[in-house]
Copies of this chain bind each other. A is one copy, B any other.
Amino acid sequence: MKRFLLVFAAICVAFSCFAQDDEAIPIEKIWGVNVNPDKTVTFRFRDRNADYVVVKGDMGKYPMTKGDDDVWTVTTPHSLNGGFYEYFFIVDDVMMPDPSNYYSTQSSGIVYSIFLVPGGMGDLYSVQDVPHGTLSHVWYHSDKLGMDRMLNIYTPAGYEDGHKKLPVLYLLHGSSQFDNAWIQSGRMVQIMDNLIAQGKAEPMIVVMPNGNRQLQAAPGFDTFNLTYQAQTRKYLTKTNNGEWEAAFPEIVKYVDKHYRTISRKKGRAITGLSMGGAMSTIISANYPDLFDYVGCFSCFPMGRGETADNLYDKIEYQLTKKTPKWYYHTCGPADDLYPQVQKFWKDIEDRGIEFEHEEKGVGHDWFTWRMDLTDFVQKLFKD
């Protein structure tokens, strides 16, 4: 089949790939999303029979109009801010990624097509001509959980040739997400490469584990192979029950053993978005000697563990006893969790726990979390 497709791809340069009906539609008319020079964005989708086609994503929702060539198009009515955008089409009643866009992310069981608008945060989220760090997918054995599990580990440019010990940020994903979420949707590799190159963030190691107790790795990378769909929640049943959180020191131990780390509290930070932020608070409160820096993006510690350790119960007590050196919360005003987050903020304030909090970003979304990460890492390990 591949051979056919190589030829096929070559033919596509000049003619429409889709010309089963012998139409020869110039490729540029149906190929891909286009970021225009004025930073408006044009979407195209070919369908000769649909009743309606809509594009929906981080840039808004726009109905598309069918041309004589059966190509539905729309251009955003205004320029977009520089940034990273995810979108999909709704074709009649079917939601789908853009079949003519090579680039996608997978999040919460859904495949999104993506584009980058240059300028502003878009530059920070792009691969720039700067020294690049290494991203590794490594496996460690968890005795407590009784399984091998994957860690995604970023080491900054120059790590391989250096001798200096580096601090470590543990970066956790949200609910219905996986260990690759910060890499794909969060653009963490680009953010770290760029901030470190600009001297705005300290060179640091970033460790991204999978916070779902039953999953060894992101879908497709563990023994469930290609059977996992986020819609089948059976794989997530034990997520958030406290077992994974209780086993977290095993990860720290693995990293300290195999990487050139500052293996003390002052050299460690932990944060995450939503569920991962809550887990960061829970883990750091229950292991108060591990982290000097603790973040919580769009989150409050919810849920109760079933385990004997009662990890979720001890939070406020532990936070009072040993507050992290820097305990940082953010939440966007449009976040549906905002009322509960505010309640948690008030609770810990009433107990005299020192923490910093900012209302920033928008809602419960990657637009907000990419900015949260960008701000957070610039404040770490500065002294």
With A9-B110, A23-B93, A50-B49 as contacts: A226 and B103 at CB distance below 8 Å: yes
Query: Does A18 sit at the interface, judged by CB under 8 A?
Result: yes
Q: How far is the CB of A313 from chain B (nearest CB, A)?
A: 26
CB-contacts of A109-162 with B (<8 A) = 109-111, 114-116, 126-129, 131-139, 148, 150, 157, 160
A231 touches B13 (CB 8 A): yes
Query: Does A262 sit at the interface, judged by CB under 8 A?
Result: no
Query: Does A249 sit at the interface, judged by CB under 8 A?
Result: no
B92 touches A223 (CB 8 A): no
CB-contacts of A301-319 with B (<8 A) = none
A2 touches B366 (CB 8 A): yes
Stretch at the interface among A203-211, A214-222, A282-290: A214-222
Query: Does A329 sit at the interface, judged by CB under 8 A?
Result: no
Q: How far is the CB of A33 from chain B (nearest CB, A)?
A: 9
**Residues of A that sit less than 8 Å from B by CB:** 1-3, 5-6, 8-9, 12-13, 16-21, 23, 27, 31-32, 46-51, 56-58, 70, 86, 90-97, 99, 102-104, 106-111, 114-116, 126-129, 131-139, 148, 150, 157, 160, 175-176, 185, 219-223, 225-226, 228-231, 233, 258, 335-336, 363-366
